[in-house]
Structure 1
Amino acid sequence: MKRKDFLYLSGMGIGGALLSGIPALGSPVSPGKPLETVDTALKKQLADIALNAARSKGASYADVRIGRYRNQFIITREDKVLNTVDTESYGIGIRVIAGGSWGFAATDKMDKDGIAQAAELAVSIARENARLLKEPVQLAPQNGYGEVTWKTPIEKNGFEIPIKEKAELLLAVNAAAMKSGASFVDSSLFLVNEQKYFASTDGSYIDQDIHRIWPTFTVTKTNDKTGKFETRDALSAPRGMGYEYLIPSAKEKISGITMLYRDRYDMLEDARLAAEQAAAKHSAKTIEAGKYDLVLDPTNLWLTIHESCGHPTELDRVLGYEANFAGTSFLTLDKWESKKFNYGSSLVNIVADKTQKGSLGAVGYDDEGVGTKEWDVIKNGVLVNYQAIRDQAHIIGLKESQGCCYSQSWRDVQFQRMANISLRPGKGQLTPAEMISKVEKGIYIVGDGSYSIDQQRYNFQFSGQLFYEIRDGKIAGMLKDVAYQANTQEFWNSCTAICDERDYRLGGSFFDGKGQPEQVSAVSHGAATARFNGVNVINTARKI
């Protein structure tokens, strides 16, 4: 689900009835209702029922995910609260190997008979699947962890903050934007809590409590004379944090543009700034198409990383297992086997990381019970690895999974999903202002916008929220109608400078879609401001 689609549908008041149809969200509950927790000892008992039933029917391997998922949405527009929606779901998913093949079944009948029947069904499905099997499933070894726990390190649980307080914050954000000249504004807050319990025949019993938060808005400014409108979306990044993310932070000036730091989000300040910038867009100069040096802020670059680095390095896309939904990958195995495929310039180091604090993808263990870690994907511009899970690891010679398996809910089967994929910051000290000062003809791009990319994640086009002309090392004014085009290899080879870790910030997506039936996952992408030389820029203005 795209953010604008969600805001539109929920803003229309469809909210609870519609959102309950999304598998990850479950059924509506009373807003503000406390989320009950299930005793860990009871979850272990329920898991053992499933594991024992699966083994008794002949499963050679089984894992169990007991999940209680809660989501909360608060949606406002100008001076009104349009909707508050709480959803909650609880159930068990059971995955087995029998006859060398996978089988999966799920149920929300959380009693002994219901769980045992689901386990037996999973084994039956596996045996039927085995009739079409060409070669048996081969799992990477995984030692059991015993009984362990992991929690998102939050300071304030957003679900424990009164809805009234959260709604008042959003209304204050709207008021700040309107006071600064906005014609319209909508804002929303999305909270997620996943309480997940994993158990397997390997001997793991893993209890995790995961929190995510996403504050966002769209500010619109109309021109009464022309009838046209301009918008600016929030520059916030959804985060794997608690409500403390919304505590105002320090700010800095970068070439006259106020930017927000990485670990806290001042939503009020961003809304005021958004109104001013949306108004300024009306008088911005339209871009003259041509080649430019681009200075891409992390609020823009994260999406390019997601599409051109994250998706093509997913091993299931490389192997063709994932093809119908958004395509495969140009990064075929022969490129990795050569150990010298030139993905980008020597400055480009792309890392996968499921442990990064504050990121959307941060967990202690994935949905196969594998401890998470960090690993290199692109090193000094060369493709060195992919993203792989337990039944893929042997294909690329790995002795263990990289811990990037995920399911959006207990009722959906887990499969390979993108880890946090990020561009490492530069090693030498460099600020965005210093980077801009060295550009003769360029564009500084802030915020993400529309994009398109082909079915192999190679040829692409990206836009943004804000565009500033760089002339002789200085910001020369605002531009509009800008989009940059390239292919993945050409683009990353044009990277000539990356700011240092002081500028490193996370962006990300709450609704990264993949698979059929489609599942969504949340994933972050970190970067510091980076420079790309000689990139083709087009004018996107609609010609009438």
Structure 2
Amino acid sequence: MKRRDFVQLTGLGAGALMMPMAMMGKIIPAEALLDPGMDVALKKKMADVALNTAKSLGASYADARIGRYLNQYVFTRENKVQNVVNTESFGIGIRVIANGTWGFASTNTVTEEGIKKATQQAIAIAKANATIQKEPVKLAPVQAHGEVSWKTPIKKNFKDVPVSEKVDLLLSANAAAMDNGADYASSALFMVNEQKYFASTDGSYIDQDIHRIWPTFDITAIDKNAGKFKTRDALSAPMGMGYEYLDGLDSEKLKGPDGLILYRNSYDMVEDAKFAAQQARQKLSAKSVDPGKYDLVLEPNHLGLTIHESVGHPLELDRVLGYEANYAGTSFATLDKWKSGDFKYGSDIVNLVADKTQPNSLGAVGYDDEGVKTKKWDLVRNGVLTNYQAIRDQVHMIDQNESHGCCYAQSWNDVQFQRMPNVSLEPGKEKYSIEEMIKDVEKGIYIAGRGSYSIDQQRYNFQFGGTVFYEIKDGKIVGMLEDVAYQSNTQEFWNSCVKICDESDYRMFGSFFDGKGQPSQISAVSHGSSTTRFNNVNVINTGRNI
């Protein structure tokens, strides 16, 4: 699976067919989404069956996760509905430590008998693993939370909104695009509800109700005479919110160059589709960039992907240690650099933080999948590498005794492991408008939205494109550009950061489908930033034949 939002889910229309199996579950009628499911008292009773069985079989630790995953996906193209999919997945995953080693098993037979059998299997797997593991698992201590709950603070549950209303929104966005110069318009709406119950022998019983939403589209304009086409994707961000994200209840819009509309905390899909069609048409006649060194002004929906690849992944501790290399390689940010205490990951104004509590973010939860209360912590402070992302059985490797609370499993059927939390660039201290950000740029490019990218297996050398590009000359926007990609390495790039807008410009980018592991799992994660400037970055032309 490619992480760029699953390649826009293969053009969106085929998205339902391309969904990772863990996201699919069984197909159900829409009304089944409203079923409240198993009550909390019964969940506790079933979880205790797993915990007590594990202890009786010699486990020194056990946890149980009862999960119900509800998803709704709506796909349209031009004036037609292509698919509406409702899915449900329900079961229990049981993880144990026996003879100092992990074991895991799962079942969708959530009965006392089914749970006992799965727990016995987890114990057997742990004992088999113990014959080859050299050192016992060492867990950082965790607080016993007792019986607690956490919910995404939504204002409007997507399950209460009729499918017809969702379809009308998507078709209206398509129509707005077609009326403004698009030749093709595909749109989709992804809505997710994770109902997760966690219990452990440490004394926690945690009930969580998590919501996420992602509206998106792909607009295409064609120049038949020239035999070429251009696309413009949505400038939406997937969010940890309810359907209010699309209602404009907390509407905040910021203006980019050339009338570009930038959204925060709410999203006007029809408005963005209209503007996207106009921009896709403009891109057909836009000037092709001249390669060379440029100052780059990067808006948050673009910079989020660069943060994801050049900060989020390389600071996952399992990659740093070489234990994990699937999907994203290992990491250049090795322990010796961290231990030195002075490794300059970026310039002095660069402060990068991990945060599982960030409101409206995709990664926001109250507790991770090990029962650890989530928090915020520094990764890079004043440009210096200060920490990594680590979970209960990892933190002792970096001489820490408290998990960072970033353990996650994509479903009840998968074992939880270290996953990227929200990783964000802190806003600057001074208030800058876009005009003020570019007024002293002699030769530069403003980039909005994400595009294609490439990064090496140590997360060091990279290349990033974008959605729309504007040329900056002598402090002013002078027109649209095309065929733009910038090349750098992680340390050089972040050390070229010279100016960051303040919190009034702060927005989030996100991915529903960040892949990791073998067997692979996906997770949802956000990356926040304000508009940021990087000086003297190498730009190449991606449209020229060499």
Distance 1:474 1:364 in 2: 45
Q: CA deviation at 1:71?
A: 1.0
**RMSD of aligned C-alpha atoms?**
1.3
One-letter amino acid matched to 1:338: S
Q: Are residue 92 (structure 1) and residue 106 (structure 2) matched?
A: no
* 2:325 paired residue number: 323
Q: Structure 1: state its 5+ residue gaps.
A: none
Once the two structures are superposed, the pairs formed by residues 376-525 of structure 1 within 5 Å of their partners are 376-525=378-527
Q: Which residue of 2 aligns with 1:279?
A: 281
How big is the shift at 1:324?
A: 3.8
The one-letter amino acid paired with 1:312 is P
Match of 1:153 in 2: 153
Note the C-alpha offset of 1:429: 1.7
State whether residues 233 and 276 of structure 2, in contact with CA within 8 Å, keep that contact through their aligned partners in structure 1.
yes
Corresponding position of 2:367: 365
SS of residue in 2 equivalent to 1:148 = strand
- What pairs with 1:1-400 in structure 2 (closer than 5 Å)? 1-2=1-2, 3=5, 5=7, 7-8=9-10, 11-12=13-14, 15=16, 19=19, 22-36=21-35, 37-248=37-248, 249-400=251-402
| SS in structure 2 of the partner of residue 448 of structure 1 | coil
SS at the partner of 2:332? coil
Task: Kindly state the Cα deviation for residue 499 of structure 1 after the two structures are TM-superposed.
Answer: 0.5
In 2, Cα distance between equivalents of 1:438 and 1:402:
41
CA contact (8 A) 2:295 2:534 kept: yes
Deviation of 1:28 (Å): 1.2
Structure 2 residue matching 1:177: 3-state secondary structure: helix
Query: What is the CA distance between 1:5 and its match in structure 2?
Result: 4.4
Kept in 2: contact 1:359–1:523 (CA 8 A): yes
Q: Aligned equivalents of 2:145 and 2:162: distance in 1? A: 37
Contact 1:355/1:372 (<8 A) preserved: yes
Conserved 8 A contact 1:230-1:278: yes
Q: Is the 8 A contact 1:32 1:163 kept in 2?
A: no
Check conservation: 1:431, 1:500, Cα contact below 8 A: no
**Larger CA deviation: 131-140 vs 424-433:** 424-433
Deviation at 1:252, TM superposition (A): 3.6
8 Å CA contact retained: 2:63, 2:94:
yes
Supply the distance in 2 between the matched residues of 1:99 and 1:215 (Cα, whole angstroms). 47
Instruction: Describe the superposition over 1:468-496 as per-residue Cα deviations: whole angstroms up to 9, x where unpaired.
Output: 00000000100000000000000000000
Deviation at 1:22, TM superposition (A): 1.1
**Is the partner of 2:361 in helix, strand or coil?**
coil
Q: What whole-Å deviation, never above 9, does each CA across 1:107-165 have from its counterpart, x for those lacking one?
A: 00111110011011101100000001111000000121000000000000012111011
Q: Distance in 1 between matches of 2:65 and 2:402?
A: 21
Q: If the length of structure 1 is used for normalisation, what is the TM-score?
A: 0.97
Secondary structure of the equivalent of 1:307?
helix
Render the CA deviation track for 1:376-419: whole Å, top value 9, x for unaligned: 00000000000000000111111210000000000000000001
1:326 alignment partner AA: A
Residues 476-519 of structure 1: per-residue CA shift (max 9 Å, x gap) = 10000000000000000000000010000000110000000000
- Which residue identity is paired with 2:285? S
The CA distance in 2 between the partners of 1:292 and 1:207, in whole Å, is 50
Identity of aligned residues (%): 65
Structure 1 position 35, deviation (Å): 3.6
Write the deviation string for residues 43-68 of structure 1: whole angstroms up to 9, x where unpaired: 00000000000001000000000000
**Which residue of structure 1 aligns with residue 531 of structure 2?**
529
For residues 333 and 238 of structure 1, what CA distance do their matches in structure 2 show?
33
Q: Which runs of 5+ in 2 are unaligned?
A: none
* Equivalent-residue separation in structure 2 for 1:4 and 1:314 (angstroms): 21
Per the TM alignment, residue 23 of structure 1 is displaced from its structure 2 partner at its CA by 2.0
Residue type of the partner of 1:31? Answer: A
Deviations 1:203-254 (A, max 9, x none): 0000000000000000000012112110000000000000000123243433
Deviations 1:88-114 (A, max 9, x none): 110000000000000000000111110
State the distance in 2 between where 1:59 and 1:214 align.
Answer: 41
| Superposed displacement of residue 169, structure 1 | 0.5
Aligned length: 541
- The answer to whether the 8 Å contact 2:288/2:483 transfers is yes
